[in-house]
Amino acid sequence: MGLIKGNTKWILFLSTSNEPDERHVHDLAYGLLCLEVAGVQEENISIYIDGKNRQWLAQLIASGSAKSHVIKESKDFSVDQANNIHENIVMFITGHGGIEGIDAPTPITPYNLLQQIKGSPNLKQAILYLGQCHAGIFNYIGAGRRAFPSDNPDPEIIIIGATSLHNSLSSPTKEHFVTGEINWVANLFLLYAFKWISKPVDVDGDGKITVIDSYKYASAVSNIANKNAKIQTFVTALDLHQKWIAFRAAVQQNPTDLNKLNFEAASTQLEAALDIQFNHQECWILNAIPAQSIEF
């Protein structure tokens, strides 16, 4: 039996040491929409989002579903995992990340996340989609199932990262939600992973819709979108550079407050355009062999 019809818990997760970015909440709201379109039942979806304004979070998440979903905090995840009753977990993580792991009141390290999931009772396999920057921090860890002891095997864990040791790429998009169209700067990898789940494609042509297909699709399409964004911003960056040169000259000739403000604004715009040009994303998968046989 596949993940959607099987005994699976679907988790949307956003932890933060401060307040969540609205764009990250939109990522999960869109993911919720796609899960429900795919046929995932309400009771099999868990949402964890940190933040003080719970009413605001509930309103944003409601854009992705007409159903009532409880939104817990990241600290509740450990408690829930200790009482797990599901054979499968599929988890989508968005937010910020860095060398210390996933941003949270106490940063979530690869070891801690792995131990929480490996220690979940009844769990046979877990698939993690990591959208945060520097997701490659979670690569090269013991995600596979141990051969011994054979009478008490731990779960198989597949980890899929939007990027390796780079920033994760986001781009403006407009999608149709339950409440209408929403514009936001979406995490590209998670956006296309969710799109694939709502309308899966057999990428490798083996006649099965598997986890590896989702990885190949989201990786390829998000990189195509990244390339197109670079093309679109290249000419813009050239124009912004000319304006930056002009404002710099104006400040050098007449350093008024207005000229300084114009130069600072031009510098910010140019830096943003160049950031897109030089940003790099390498999608990756850890424990790919079982990913070829686990069906959705």
Distance CA 13, CA 189 (A): 15
CA 3/CA 45 separation, integer angstroms: 13
Q: Angle at which helices 211-253 and 188-198 pack, to 10 degrees?
A: 150
pLDDT in tens, the chain (296 residues): 799 999 999 999 999 999 999 999 999 999 999 999 999 999 999 999 999 999 999 999 999 999 989 999 999 999 999 999 999 999 999 999 999 999 999 999 999 999 999 999 999 999 999 999 999 999 999 888 776 555 567 899 999 999 999 888 888 899 999 999 999 999 999 999 999 999 999 999 999 999 999 999 999 999 888 888 778 778 888 888 888 888 898 889 988 988 888 888 888 988 887 777 777 788 999 999 999 999 99
CA-based radius of gyration for the chain:
21
What is the Cα–Cα distance from 159 to 287, expressed in whole angstroms?
A: 7
3-state helix, strand, coil in the chain (%, to 5): 45, 20, 35
Distance between CA atoms of residues 8 and 17, nearest Å:
29
Terminal C-alpha separation, the chain: 8
The two structure tokens encoding residue 85: 């009753």
